């Protein structure tokens, strides 16, 4: 009996714990997610503490992390034309090289904001390729019935790494300085590469015809998303949430924590670590919530949690411990909502999409929901410079109510369970 058959049997008997290829994939992502948590804090701190960035510069930096998702369609077409695992290896290898450049440039006293901008954009392009290929690759490793469990475990990884990573990052930044702390993330991508190349599950080349014109393939994927009521509603809900949360708020929240509240790197690391408690809860309960109240209402409840968390953030104020408490409470609610939301909506998207369209479906969704973030980031930077950081956070928090309203009155609430596409 081949390894792929054995994996299917062990998957059905013991879920995914004895599925060796999934465990390799999960291990690699665990290490990579830990490293990403380091970069998530060390990168903006490099700009704020090392380069003394302004609110506008922080907005641009945040925007450049998401601008590459505007080119997601091409990554989706590529993902549907070739095997996805080699694309994952290429993306992680490239991210290792780019992140290693920042501390190298620092050694030669050449780090400027434009260097940071260039590296962030390059890493963003490779992240687009990785994320689209990764979500399309998972159904090749596990069966459709295990998608929710697989996504839950991967989100659990993200949550646990979020608890450990930021706390250690604060210490690393204090000890190594922010630019050199990025080497931890660079190393994590090498571990992910080794895990990916060790996977033995056969992956067939997608059946989408290579001779079909790229624009026709892009249109096919986008049309599928636009015409499917659930996918269309999820895209609008997520895009609205991302514009305000990741875009406007994301551009100024670290700046506000450091300059408005007075937090240092270590305290910010603790904040991020405690926020991950909410993410862990979302990972553990997201699938169960979907089964108990239905996938649609689980998505709505998760979005409500994130919105309440966003409303708390502009209320943070000095002294530092009071501001710290508001940041933690806000982060726990936002993290819980974000993870529970993704466990349900990503699993539903993967299950209802035909295999040959997975890459382009993911690309179409990512193009919109992540492509809108740069505009939110630029708006956040401009608002932060003109009306102040707290007022910017308040406007963003109020705007965060819109995705809840859309989700409640859309077709999302009618989705009862994950339906497997034939």
Q: What six digits make up the tokens of 364? A: 């179409």
Q: Which tens digit of pLDDT belongs to each residue from 11-63?
A: 443 467 767 788 888 888 778 877 887 887 788 888 888 888 888 898 899 88
pLDDT for the residue 167: 67
pLDDT for the residue 50: 84
Tallying the residues shown for the chain, one arrives at 422
C-alpha 118/C-alpha 102 separation (Å) is 10
CA atoms within 13 A on the CB side of 148: 21
3-199+213-414: CATH topology is: Growth Hormone; Chain: A; (1.20.1250)
More confident: 3 or 358: 358
Of 122-126, 130-134, 404-408, minimum mean pLDDT range: 130-134
What average pLDDT score do residues 235-240 get?
96
H helical segments located in 198-228: 214-227
Crossing angle of helices 178-197 and 147-176, rounded to 10°: 150
Domain residue extents for the chain:
3-199+213-414
Model confidence, pTM: 0.69
C-alpha 359/C-alpha 203 separation (Å) is 14
Q: Which class for 304: exposed (0-12), middle (13-18), buried (19 or more C-beta within 10 A)?
A: middle
Mean pLDDT score of the chain? 83
Q: Which tens digit of pLDDT belongs to each residue from 301-348?
A: 999 999 999 999 999 999 999 999 999 999 999 999 998 999 899 888
% pLDDT > 90, the chain: 33
What average pLDDT score do residues 72-80 get?
77
The answer to whether the beta carbons of residues 278 and 336 sit under 8 Å apart is yes
C-alpha 269/C-alpha 419 separation (Å) is 39
pLDDT for the residue 12: 41
The answer to whether the beta carbons of residues 296 and 414 sit under 8 Å apart is yes
C-alpha 43/C-alpha 99 separation (Å) is 10
pLDDT for the residue 170: 72
pLDDT for the residue 160: 67
pLDDT(256) > 90:
yes
């Amino acid at each position: 009996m081949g390894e792929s058959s054995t994996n299917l049997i062990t998957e059905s008997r013991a879920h995914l714990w004895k599925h060796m290829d999934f465990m390799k994939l999960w291990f690699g992502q665990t290490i990579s997610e830990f490293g990403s948590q380091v970069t998530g804090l060390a990168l903006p701190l490099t700009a704020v503490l090392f380069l003394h960035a302004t609110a506008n510069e922080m907005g641009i930096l945040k925007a450049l992390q998401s601008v590459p998702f505007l080119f997601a369609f091409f990554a989706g077409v590529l993902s549907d034309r070739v095997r996805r695992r080699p694309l994952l290896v290429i993306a992680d290898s490239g991210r290792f090289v780019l992140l290693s450049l920042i501390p190298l440039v620092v050694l030669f006293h050449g780090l400027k904001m434009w260097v940071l901008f260039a590296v962030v954009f390059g890493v963003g392009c490779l992240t687009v390729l990785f994320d689209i290929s990764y979500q399309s690759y998972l159904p090749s490793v596990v069966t459709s019935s295990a998608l929710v469990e697989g996504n839950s475990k991967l989100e659990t990884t993200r949550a646990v790494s979020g608890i450990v990573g930021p706390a250690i990052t604060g210490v690393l930044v204090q000890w190594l300085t922010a630019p050199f702390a990025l080497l931890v993330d660079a190393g994590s991508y090498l571990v992910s590469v080794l895990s990916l190349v060790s996977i033995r599950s056969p992956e067939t080349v997608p059946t989408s015809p290579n001779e079909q014109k790229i624009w026709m393939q892009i249109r096919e994927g986008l049309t599928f998303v636009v015409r499917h009521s659930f996918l269309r509603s999820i895209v609008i809900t997520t895009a609205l949430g991302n514009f305000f949360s990741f875009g406007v708020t994301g551009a100024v929240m670290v700046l506000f924590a450091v300059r408005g509240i007075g937090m240092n790197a270590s305290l910010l690391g603790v904040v991020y670590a405690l926020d991950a408690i909410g993410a862990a809860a979302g990972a553990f309960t997201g699938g169960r919530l979907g089964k108990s109240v239905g996938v649609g209402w689980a998505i709505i409840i998760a979005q409500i949690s994130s919105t309440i968390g966003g409303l708390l953030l502009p209320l943070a104020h000095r002294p530092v411990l009071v501001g710290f408490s508001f940041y933690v409470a806000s982060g726990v609610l936002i993290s819980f909502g974000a993870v529970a939301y993704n466990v349900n909506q990503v699993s539903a998207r993967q299950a209802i999409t035909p295999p040959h369209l997975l890459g382009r479906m993911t690309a179409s969704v990512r193009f919109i929901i992540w492509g809108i973030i740069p505009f939110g980031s630029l708006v956040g930077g401009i608002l932060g410079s003109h009306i102040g950081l707290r007022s910017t956070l308040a406007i963003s928090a109020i705007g965060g109510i819109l995705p809840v309203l859309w989700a409640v009155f859309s077709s999302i609430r009618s989705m009862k369970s994950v339906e497997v596409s034939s």
